[in-house]
Amino acid sequence: MSEHDPAIGLHPLEMDALAEARHPDPFSLLGMHDTASGTVVRALLPNARGVQVVARHDGRVLGQLSEIRHGGLFAGSVDEAVPYRLVIDWHGVDQEIEDTFSFAPILSDDVLQRLSWGDPYAVNEALGSRPVTIDGIPGVRFAVWAPNARRVSVVGDFNAWDGRRHPMRLRHQAGVWELFIPRIGAGTRYKYEMLTRDGHPIPLKADPCAFQTEKPPATASIVADYDAIAGFRWGDADWMTSRGDKQTAQAPISIYEVHAESWLRVAEEGQRGLDWEELAERLIPYVKNMGFTHVEFLPVAEHPFGGSWGYQPLSQFAPSARFGTPQQFAAFVNRAHEEGIGVILDWVPAHFPNDAHGLVQFDGTPLYEHADPREGYHQDWNTMIYNLGRNEVSAFLVASALAWLSRYHVDALRVDAVASMLYRDYSRAAGEWVPNIYGGRENLESIAFLKRLNHEVQHMPDVHGAITIAEESTAWPGVTAPLDNGGLGFQFKWNMGWMHDTLHYMHEDPVYRQYHHHNMTFGMVYAYSERFVLPLSHDEVVHGKGSLLGKMPGDPWQRFANLRAYFGFMWTHPGKKLLFMGGEFGQMAEFNHDGSPHWHLLDEPFHRGVQKLVHDLNTLYRDEPALYRLDSEPGGFEWLVGDDSGNSVFAYRRMDGAGREVVTVCNMTPVPRSGYRLGVTHHGRWLEVLNTDAGVYGGSNMGNGGLVVSEDVQSHGKPQSVSLVLPPLATIVLRADR
């Protein structure tokens, strides 16, 4: 080898490693380097015919590169060490572009240090792909955490998905690989190609921190237009300023739960779901007209399998491409806020699917999941469990939560499957789980993660007023207790016990309800242990459970009457409200994600009556502070009749602490009752402000004519009482006319 050989300084083994994309540090050899014989430029360009080096600022030729090793390894001397470009001859098609290997490291030591500490803000700042301009050159910055990989390359349409073209630079202190690729931009498809520590290839991986993805079943990540997302022109300043007061225990919260893809399919176009623009035009007015305060979506983070309804997400930062671009999702949230509707997302930090392009064995090792299947494999869902004891994994998920709240102005995250996170033996038999360091069943790492999540949400200025809601089905203490008091720090918890107990009661034939009376009253025993949401969610209308209407006993008339009475009980019971789509008009069939709610049923009076009742219940609930102001305080509720099991009658007061009150009476049998005496606190007229048996709802129109007058007859410990007509299978609501 002569002293002028452009390969000088390269050992044949190094050339082999470069050409075969096995070299651990290609930046040390590729690009421009000073050697003993002068300045050389080396480039790895498989399938190129020739390469010329030109000055970046004026285009003059600096030198010609020749192929020094089969496989596209080019090298050659250049006249001077100045910023340069490569003119690549792709067998007759010339491409002039800056050399990726001419750029210095792009992530600062500070952000890398914060990544190694598990800083979620550093995750959002540094990882993923982002269009940037470096040294005046536009391109895309890529960064991915893969500490155990031997080599990571960015592959995409821009390099024919050839991992030899763009191997990344490893920043050892954080285990992060980075690369700047010039002259590509938003809309670029890409993945990561990796070799394990043993040098074996693994399936191409999507970017865990991508802001945008291809529409399934395609699986590539997409470089999002970050400037368009960050620069979105929000028009919801009034909402964002005031939302904190709209999402407290003292506020009315009525949530319409929606599976976005199937809420309203377009039958004429192959049963496709609506996109975000169409949902904004159709769903938001519907939610508003029905009187709901919030819309809650089953997870919209990108997920490979539609049949998981989003509960097996892989791209925790990317709104699903099924519904449009990230900017279109932002526009939907903005429109909802302009109409006074809050947006809640179901969010899944408990587990992820084992699709090969996803997080499983991400760098050839159990990186995001536990290595031990007793900790890292979820038997119920055939999914992998996040290793939340690893700082980087915890930070990744917290960063995702903050990104939804900050980047898209989402108002609340309903955290899925919290119970499965809290217990190491969740759904596992003896010997199938690993105790914590103290020998117990509590998952200390998950507990710390949930506390950290809630601390960040409560203290991050960009998400002021946002809240978190736990789907937690056990008696874990302090789910909604403040962090300072040892609680988990959620604002609300789904009351799964109330839902199970009351649905069990309603399922019984009225003849036998007297033996299950406690199922309707037991919820008040623990009502103030947490701040609750009463959920009639999608979980109750899937997997063979039928519909809410289908759970009701009796002939068709009685079924509808039962459902109306139950809704009346629910909307006047302490706790915020949640109802899954289709339930608001008494759909008979259970949820089918391939179809839509059976909207045609609204042509039938009984179904239309249920819908009107839900509208009127929402209106009453929102307008009557006694029904929500003291939801989480004992002073807001009093049983008047809680022990009349023989008649299956319940009666209770709701108060707002400022003198307003309403009285609810439920008759859960088909037997009308006349002259039912009930004690009341106020003398005079009591307005019957709601009767679920009203004819307009499909009922028999029995009731009290809209008004009763109290008498000086003591009853139920009250100085006054009223004599009521209790309609069959109905709930009535009274308010003092003062």
Q: Which residues belong to the active site?
A: 416, 471
Q: What pairing do the DSSP bridges indicate for beta strands 84-89 and 50-55?
A: antiparallel
Q: Are 141 and 106 spatial neighbours (Cβ–Cβ below 8 Å)?
A: yes
In angstroms, the CA 707 to CA 723 distance is: 11
Which of 188, 184, 186, 150 lies closest to 167 in space, CA to CA? Answer: 150
Cis peptide bond prior to 217, omega within 30° of 0: yes
Q: How far lies 31's CA from each of 59, 529, 698, in Å?
A: 18, 64, 78
DSSP state of 70: T
- 319 Rama sector, left if φ>0, alpha if ψ -120 to 50, beta otherwise: beta
CA dist 385 and 453 (Å) reads 17
CA distance to 153, 219, 226, per residue, from 116 (Å): 21, 28, 24
CA distances from residue 470 to 153, 388, 479, 524, 724 in whole angstroms, order as listed: 39, 17, 8, 20, 40
Is the Cα torsion angle 245, 249, 255, 259 positive or negative in sign?
positive
Do 422 and 442 touch, CB atoms closer than 8 A? yes
Give me the DSSP letters along 314-344.
SEEEEE-GGG--HHHHHHHHHHHHHTT-EEE
In what helix (H) or strand (E) does residue 564 lie, and over which residues does it extend? helix 556-572
CA 637/CA 631 separation, integer angstroms: 8
Tell me how crowded residue 104 is: count the other CB atoms within 10 A of its CB.
9
Three-state secondary structure call for residue 306: helix
Helix (H, G, I), strand (E, B) or coil at 347: strand
Can you read off the two tokens belonging to residue 693?
């048996």
Helix (H, G, I), strand (E, B) or coil at 130: strand
Residue 566 class from Cβ within 10 Å (0-12 exposed, 13-18 middle, 19+ buried)? buried
Token pair, residue 85, equals 């470009």
Residue whose entry in the numeric block shows the structure tokens 């129109």: 701
Query: 715 pairs with which residues across the strands?
Result: 718
CA distance 195 to 30: 19
Say if CB 276 and CB 329 are below 8 A apart: yes
Is the distance from CB of 722 to CB of 685 less than 8 angstroms?
no
Residues paired with 467 in a beta bridge: 412
DSSP-based three-state secondary structure for 599: helix
User: Count of alpha carbons within 13 Å of 208, Cβ hemisphere only?
Assistant: 27
Place of tokens 């069959």: 728
How far apart are alpha carbons 63 and 374 in whole angstroms? 60
The Cα–Cα gap between 586 and 569 comes to: 16
Cα 31 to Cα 85: distance, rounded to the nearest angstrom: 11
